[in-house]
């Protein structure tokens, strides 16, 4: 699953992407507590069960741990492992579509990168 979810993705995948982006940006570092399911759901206008499903996926992947009665916390090494997983997902899922679209439009990837730096 990827932080680079799109509007066509299921809601829990989009929420997972929001959380993953926060972890990768450093908003949530190793040892930090994630917002409660209810708080995150309220902030994003989502169903708490959907947020719980997104959180569960992070627990299943070993990026966070649950401390009963306290909350969910980012595990040491999660940022590095998540970055590797997200890079792999980007290169296998997103980049081929992006590259194909660049080719379809007759754009030059180097020109696009130079344009971004301006």
- Structural domains in the chain plus CATH codes: 11-117 (1.10.10.10)
Q: Quick one: 11 exposed, middle or buried, by C-beta within 10 A (0-12, 13-18, 19+)?
A: middle
CB neighbours (10 Å) of residue 22? 16
From first to last of the 118 residues of the chain, give the pLDDT tens digit. Answer: 454 556 778 999 999 999 999 999 999 999 999 999 999 999 999 999 999 999 999 999 999 999 999 999 999 999 999 999 999 999 999 899 999 999 999 998 888 888 766 5
Whole-model pTM over 0.95: no
CA angle 21, 25, 27 (to 5 degrees): 95
The whole-number pLDDT of residue 3 equals 47
CA angle 81, 43, 34 (to 5 degrees): 35
The whole-number pLDDT of residue 60 equals 96
The whole-number pLDDT of residue 47 equals 96
DSSP H helical ranges for the chain: 11-25, 37-44, 48-60, 78-89, 95-104, 109-117
């Amino acid at each position: 699953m990827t932080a680079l979810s799109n509007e066509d993705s299921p809601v829990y995948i989009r929420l997972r992407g929001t959380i993953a982006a926060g972890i990768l940006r450093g908003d949530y570092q190793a040892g930090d507590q994630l917002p409660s399911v209810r708080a995150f759901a309220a902030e994003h206008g989502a169903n708490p069960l959907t947020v719980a499903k997104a959180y569960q996926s992070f627990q299943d992947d070993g990026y966070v741990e649950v401390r009963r009665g306290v909350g969910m916390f980012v595990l040491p090494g999660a940022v590095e492992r998540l970055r590797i997983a997200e890079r792999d997902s980007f290169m296998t899922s997103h980049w081929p579509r992006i590259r194909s679209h660049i080719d379809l439009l007759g754009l030059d990837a180097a020109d696009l990168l130079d344009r971004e730096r301006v």
